[in-house]
Amino acid sequence: MSSHLIKYNDTTLVLPPALCGSIGYYALMASHRDVVIDRYCRYDKRRKLMHRYDIADVNGRLTLTVPIAKPHFGSGATWNDAGVSAHGAWWNIHKVALWSAYGRTPFFEYYIDELMPYMQPRDGIQPESLMDLNIGIDAVIRRIAGIESEVRYELSNEEKELIANGDHSLTDHRNSNFDLDTPVEYYQVRASQQGFIPNLTILDLIFNMGPETPLVLKKIIEKNIL
């Protein structure tokens, strides 16, 4: 089923790193066979998707944040240099919020244990690498969601040069926001009270739809210009 998600076989998609990326982010990824998530893209504190994601809480949309230990390399810093701060024991906040938001969804109990190792401090050492956190969660998400894209985390020097020259063999989305122009509605556990909430983390889709996640992603790819 998942192989049918790939729409582009001849272009390389370049994405920014994302923490529990949005449904639009993963739909775009799933539509390309070759994907580079550029862990060395320039650090910009205005970019939030690297350490924030939106869920559907009991009161509607809620943003969960992993606090950042900012890199100390000035204008040359990349997101690979950013660490995760232990401030506020953020992992406890995320765990409680996810259980509150999705504990009654059909597939929460099937998948939450795979994410829990990332919702705790690493061996008592802080700050840890933000990119290690993102990459670990990304691998879990892609497996559950049936995304068969071939994913790398670093651009080659040749690819950097091609991007700089505007070569069409690479599609650079490192500055995109990934909100869908045409969201596809799927079952959400509180939709009868809140209405459908679009452009959430893909965890919302996974917990609500489980094995049907690839079917929803396919509809999104078909209805949106990705």
As given in the structure block, the two tokens for residue 87 are 């401030």
pLDDT for residue 70? 82
Q: Are 82 and 70 in contact (CB under 8 A)?
A: yes
Domain boundaries, the chain: 2-223
H or E stretch at 163: helix 157-164
Chain segment 85-99, per-residue pLDDT in tens: 888 899 999 999 999
127/122 Cα distance (integer angstroms): 9
pLDDT for residue 1? 43
Provide the 10 A C-beta neighbour count for residue 73: 10
pTM: 0.94
68/161 Cα distance (integer angstroms): 30
Most distant pair of Cα atoms in the chain: their distance? 51
Mean per-residue pLDDT, 52-72: 94
pLDDT for residue 2? 47
Q: Is 173 helix (H, G, I), strand (E, B) or coil?
A: coil
Distance spanning both ends of the chain, measured CA to CA: 19
pLDDT for residue 56? 98
Q: State the average pLDDT for the chain.
A: 93
Mean per-residue pLDDT, 178-196: 96
